[in-house]
Amino acid sequence: MAIAIMTSGGDCAGMNPAIKQFVDYALHHNLKPYFIYDGLEGLIDGKIQAATYRDVAGMMHEGGTMIRSSRSKRFFEYAYRKQAYENLQKHGITRIVILGGDGSFRALNQFHHDFGISFVGIPATIDNDIFGTDYCLGVDTSLNIIREAIDAIRDTSASFRRACVVETMGRDCGYLAVVSAITSGAEVCIVPELAYDLDKIGKQLKAEIANGRIYIVAIVAEGTGQTQKIVDWLSHEVGIETRATILGHVQRGGNPTVHDRLMASQFVTYAIDYLLANDQCANVIVYKNARFEFVTIEHVNSQKYAIDPNLIDLVKRLVHA
């Protein structure tokens, strides 16, 4: 049996460990593993190659995705999906493991309905914003990169009696900002999920400065669009010299943590097992309540992801909500 793996959408640490486990586990089961390079675009263009142990040797520690990724507008058109299907037929591929987000899963779900290609989606995005799963591949590595950056920025902020505003990624989801604020001991956390009161926050910070505080750490989620506003407010209203650091795509790279390597191995192993046990499937493997489960694409798309209320409660004092 021929089986393929592909990565789609934004890259993240943990994808390469998943790719390695895919090849190792597929060969262990006497399957013929294939790489689909360049995501959905590569599927359309026929960038499909058989994979061997040699292809994945020594890559467990590497960030990003060695088979590369893309976003594709062409895949929305039936003619290009048919071309992609014909490319798979040339290699006898009937099953796909795809690492990506909900948009990638919807694309392959349509592909499944068109041509019957079975697939399992593995949630892989640092945004951690896919409904139905508590964890997405790449999140732990991203959080650790953010932690290292904040720790370093705090050192220089303390040296110069400054405030630092650190912008995290996450699109419209504030998960990275929330967890980073909690674990870095931030004084301010601005996320889409919470209203904030700058007057109350400012009053608190001024009182702390009067009592000896020499620096401030403010974490702002990119989805709020408030980074510059918070910089200006700290500078002019709170009265402390302020610098902004936009971490950007550094959060997507880096050496995968032990947790992401382990999760990658588990996600892929269970995904292949599921594909072998089911002739026709179009599912996503999720990690919910410390258990791996398989859900439908419709379930993943049925609601918007919400951050654990317990985490939200921990940062409410940072916005005076």
Secondary structure (DSSP) of 152-218: HHHHHHHHHT-EEEEEE--TT--HHHHHHHHHHT-SEEE-TTS---HHHHHHHHHHHHHTT---EEE
Residue 302 half-sphere exposure toward CB, CA atoms < 13 A: 8
* Cα–Cα distance, 126 to 170 (Å, whole number): 7
Residues in the chain: 321
Strand runs labelled E in the chain: 2-7, 32-36, 48-50, 93-100, 118-123, 163-168, 188-190, 216-221, 242-246, 282-288, 291-296
Residue of 125, 117, 68 lying closest to 267 (CA atoms): 125
* Cα–Cα distance, 295 to 70 (Å, whole number): 25
* Cα–Cα distance, 311 to 142 (Å, whole number): 18
> Active-site residue 232, yes or no?
no
Residue 207 half-sphere exposure toward CB, CA atoms < 13 A: 7
Q: Which residues contact 95 (CB under 8 A, 6 or more apart)?
A: 1, 2, 3, 4, 117, 118, 119, 275
Distance of CA 35 to the CA centre of its chain: 21
* Cα–Cα distance, 93 to 80 (Å, whole number): 17
Cβ–Cβ < 8 Å for 282, 119: yes
Q: Choose the catalytic residue: 11, 38, 102, 127.
A: 127
Active site residues: 127
